[in-house]
Structure 1
């Protein structure tokens, strides 16, 4: 039996808080206020980039990388906002990981690092990356003066919390790569700002969206779940970027069949003929052509409950739980439909499930698209649609 929404929320909140606190009572007392740091190291060693291998389309195949061990490499600090007395401990940790071959170019890892001062465990994302490829004649000259490989570390929160954002952090590194200029002998102010802003840019968009919309978040959740297009009116770029990030994370993209998702997007667009409009021209954003249901309203309350703690990791966990529950409900409905093809009582169970789950309007559209080419299931869906229409009268 699935846990209730409140049980799921309370459990995740306690687990994340325990992870943030480091476990023991002594570690919890030493826990400082939330903070974030970064370190950028240049990497020099015997990594043979020609052994890395290229795929047919010219992309580097990181899994063929040769990672040196022992004294075959060196790490030099390029820039950091970490206290100087702590940085050598982090460098030692990264060196040990390098010696074990725990790095692949462009693919980050997350671990928990214990720092001597001030004496607490912190989540650490670390990633090895190369500068954008240079022309051969330029690369030959530059390699003698500047490294072409770097290791970047982002520290903040807990290991469990950072793991929720690992893919977004990988994308953030791609932005760092494209902004690095190998001709510069030191980091420019733009790059320093980029590194220093990682926490706000990667971890906080979901939190900012929740605080911006409050009770109106239900409309955004419904748009994400139903694949309804969203357009903006007089929105600044940062707000638009935050909302698009929220929609991307909240959608079921990648969790259901790609063909189903494409067909569902087309079906929703054809049915509604309208996008959801978010008007940011006034003091408070307004929604037009927006929909909602009980499922989204319940989860909106879960987000507002999380807002009391102001923890970006908890916001992300709630959003992951929102998607998980939507997938579970979709799979349950599919199972009931398969049973209903041979059993009229199962058909009634389908109807009761749709009526009580809070998101029957969306789930029915999802399974309708998926069962379009299956005559028996299609007939069951048609009956369910009729039941739901009668229930609304």
Structure 2
């Protein structure tokens, strides 16, 4: 039993080290004043461009059929050649004229090289004359394409096609904000599609929409933390458990802010199965073990969330400044997370998002540790006990166990299911997890 005590002691030491590393960067008063002064000098601009893109004939679409088919590289090269002399026009912007001209030239060069793709946006450092001399600006730019049947038309006898496409650009001098909030910026950018049409009749609405990009896609996290206050750990717990969140009594802006914050804290978009090749599947079936670990994916959470049916509903009621919850269950991990968010710097979105990402990374690392222990416990009773100690001491055991049960590979692995069931029964016999309730 001495070995088990050593394990528990080491686990406690590691826990203290983890907590210290998750609370964000240490800053004295001088650093804080410097950050506040820097924030006052930050700028945020936008620009929306349009152009007519030429595309090769459908018969030259990329395939993977070997030498007889056109490769993806060949197709992209043909498309780049077809658009080598394209001209882009500005639809809406708040940039000074000189800086807008520099940005338009830079974007046009990237488009002509075929290095701008639809879907997820890109981020690049650019010199477009903003700020002090030789200062770099950081630009998020995303290509928007309308549905194929609405925009494509045949051009001449060549069989090629042309379509009207758009590039949204969001510019700031904050080097980390665009990368940290890239997924929100993708959603925001694609929200422009309903506003742009063939005649571009809604310029006023487009201008108003684009001018809100920083508030909508970045500052929501500050408003959510300030609004939820002591209720932050309960919403984090609901997000981690992948509950369906029902927000009542709030206006549309507040609802959207809290839903974005919930999605931001959820692991639904970052935990997924690695695709295993048929050869790996056969090896796994032969050995009776699974090599699947948690991987990180920055894709859309809507593709990885469970269906609404069968999910537990978490109700949040807002009445003025008061926020009430129908479920106040949480754990030490969520309490530490909430404390790191609410103790200071609640008006700094970059700091808050870094705290969120640090805690999500820790949850992913803990999930990988648990999966390794479960895999070992299939043939080792000592590893089974280590799994129990890990779940008991990590402060997030209930969520990790729930996530492990929901993984697709464990649903078909008999040995893993047996280990999980044994862990559940043993934990219940020993008083369960020490979840906190208000």
The correspondence for 1:84, drawn from 97, 112, 121, is 97
Preserved CA contact (<8 Å) 1:132 1:178: no
Corresponding position of 2:327? 289
TM-score, length basis structure 1: 0.78
Alpha-carbon distance between aligned partners in 2 of 1:267 and 1:382, rounded to the nearest angstrom: 25
Corresponding position of 2:399? 362
| Deviation of 1:130 (Å) | 3.7
Matched, 1:233 2:248: yes
Root mean square deviation, CA, Å = 4.1
Preserved CA contact (<8 Å) 1:302 1:318: yes
Corresponding position of 1:161? 177
Relative to structure 2, which stretch is displaced further, 187-196 or 152-161? Answer: 152-161
Corresponding position of 1:34? 42
Corresponding position of 1:376? 415
User: Structure 1: any 5+ residue segments left out of the alignment?
Assistant: 22-27, 56-61, 141-146
Which deviations, in whole Å up to 9, do the C-alpha atoms of 1:194-240 show, x marking residues without a partner?
11111112122222211211231101110011122221222222222
1:236-275 matched pairs, under 5 angstroms:
236-257=251-272, 275=313
SS in 2 for 1:285: strand
Alpha-carbon distance between aligned partners in 2 of 1:132 and 1:263, rounded to the nearest angstrom: 24
Preserved CA contact (<8 Å) 2:49 2:88: yes
Alpha-carbon distance between aligned partners in 2 of 1:230 and 1:162, rounded to the nearest angstrom: 27
Alpha-carbon distance between aligned partners in 2 of 1:103 and 1:379, rounded to the nearest angstrom: 49
Corresponding position of 1:48? 55
Corresponding position of 1:353? 390
Which deviations, in whole Å up to 9, do the C-alpha atoms of 1:278-322 show, x marking residues without a partner?
0112421111123100010111112124x5162323322322222
User: Structure 2: any 5+ residue segments left out of the alignment?
Assistant: 1-13, 63-71, 156-162, 275-293, 295-300, 433-438
Relative to structure 2, which stretch is displaced further, 130-139 or 4-13? Answer: 130-139
Alpha-carbon distance between aligned partners in 2 of 1:48 and 1:161, rounded to the nearest angstrom: 34
Preserved CA contact (<8 Å) 1:233 1:280: yes
Q: 1:379 to 1:150 in 2, by over 3 A?
A: closer
Alpha-carbon distance between aligned partners in 2 of 1:138 and 1:163, rounded to the nearest angstrom: 36
Alpha-carbon distance between aligned partners in 2 of 1:177 and 1:268, rounded to the nearest angstrom: 30
Alpha-carbon distance between aligned partners in 2 of 1:180 and 1:87, rounded to the nearest angstrom: 20
Corresponding position of 1:75? 88
| Deviation of 1:360 (Å) | 0.8
